[in-house]
Amino acid sequence: MKSKKILFYRDYQGFTGGHLKVFNYFEHVKHSNNFNSKIYFSKNSNYILNNSTSINSEDLELNWEPELADVLFVAGLDWSVVPFDIDKPVINLIQHVRHADPNDFRYNFLRRPAIRICVSQAVADAIISTGIVNGKTFVIKNGVDPLDFPEKNVYKDNQVLIAGYKKPELAAQIAQELNKLGIKNHLLIKMHERFDYLSLVARSAITIFLPCESEGFYLPALEGMGLGTLVICPDCIGNNEFCFHMQNCIVPIYSLEGIISSCCEAMEMLSTNYSEKIRTNGELQFKAHSLKEERARFIEILNSIDIG
């Protein structure tokens, strides 16, 4: 019988990739022989059960009582609700290089004792370089579950998708320039329901992804590879472990001119075998990031925790 409880905390104001990965880890715990997972949503959370995750009413904690848990799991700003005098092991999922920025609010959280899981080597290198990390640091590359994906579309009814919800102004400029060139495109600057969004990517011959200038992993580009679109994605630090220019995607200079140039190049490639080679390599890269492997690595770490 599972007797040890891991308590998660989320302040949920709408679906993001960061929330998705926390929910993945919540599900990983259920595959452990020793732990059960519970989650508390802040009073201000805008969360509806049975949306894009498998969290149900039995998983919920109605009160935030970290002292009653055996282990805490936090990410991002969740540290703000963890008492400084808590005498419990803390697992800290770190999804962005910004945690290493002294001007970022998350920076000082690195001083608090925790087992830290970084979603990429770039994130681990960034936080370790601060010299203030308190506790062990592990790297578990983000895994993706293809079971919640729509079927890949062989026929692409959309030429170019611009996934620009993180960069709406640049996305609008790209759409305008592509319109001038007669290239049909779909401009996406607001978050869609996850399945609807993935379906748009699957239907697009080319997808331009616009991350922030720095990311911890940037999962959308990897998802695009798995959905069979030709991925255009600028370097954002956290994607350089799986985005390889002209091998499995196109990595343009992060500017309007650079992205338009790369899009025109991609359009010319669509009718060639080279385009198919890039997409095939992208799918192989996608398959190398298994959610099953992520789960196995995490459970290894869970089993090594000394609860006392």
| Residue in this structure with the two tokens 């599972």, named with its chain if needed | 2
Q: Is 35 domain-assigned?
A: yes
3-state secondary structure 12-56: CCCCCHHHHHHHHHHHHHCCCCCEEEEEEECCCCCCCCCCCCCCC
Give dist(CA 300, CA 66) in Å, integer: 23
Q: What is the pTM of this model?
A: 0.87
Question: 132 to each of 18, 109, 126, 264, how far by Cα in Å?
Answer: 24, 9, 11, 46
Q: Is 231 domain-assigned?
A: yes
Shared domain for 273 and 186, answered yes or no, is yes
Residue 78's domain comprises 4-143+290-303
Shared domain for 226 and 192, answered yes or no, is yes
| H or E element, residue 188 | strand 185-188
Tell me what pLDDT residue 54 has.
Answer: 67
Question: 218 to each of 8, 197, 230, 303, how far by Cα in Å?
Answer: 23, 15, 16, 28
Shared domain for 240 and 270, answered yes or no, is yes
Q: Is 95 domain-assigned?
A: yes
The first and second tokens of residue 292, run together, are 């099953």
Shared domain for 137 and 82, answered yes or no, is yes
Shared domain for 56 and 152, answered yes or no, is no
pLDDT beneath 70: ranges in the chain: 1-2, 48-54, 308
State the total domains in the chain: 2
Shared domain for 265 and 182, answered yes or no, is yes
Q: What is the CATH number of the domain that holds 157?
A: 3.40.50.2000
3-state secondary structure 237-274: ECCCCCCCECCCEECCCCCHHHHHHHHHHHHHHCCCHH
Question: 247 to each of 35, 243, 244, 255, how far by Cα in Å?
Answer: 41, 8, 5, 21
Q: Is 137 helix (H, G, I), strand (E, B) or coil?
A: strand
Give dist(CA 291, CA 239) in Å, integer: 17
Shared domain for 10 and 118, answered yes or no, is yes
Shared domain for 123 and 188, answered yes or no, is no
Residue 119: burial class (beta carbons within 10 Å; 0-12, 13-18, 19+): buried
Give dist(CA 245, CA 256) in Å, integer: 18
Q: Is 233 domain-assigned?
A: yes
The C-alpha angle with vertex 89 and arms to 293 and 117, in degrees rounded to 5, equals 35
Asked if 17 contacts 219 with a C-beta cutoff of 8 angstroms, the reply is yes
Q: Is 308 domain-assigned?
A: no
Shared domain for 198 and 159, answered yes or no, is yes
Nearest in space to 236 (alpha carbons), one of 220, 224, 247, 225 = 220
Shared domain for 107 and 162, answered yes or no, is no
Q: Is 164 domain-assigned?
A: yes
Q: Is 121 domain-assigned?
A: yes
Shared domain for 98 and 226, answered yes or no, is no
Shared domain for 131 and 164, answered yes or no, is no
Give dist(CA 3, CA 65) in Å, integer: 17
The first and second tokens of residue 304, run together, are 């090594």
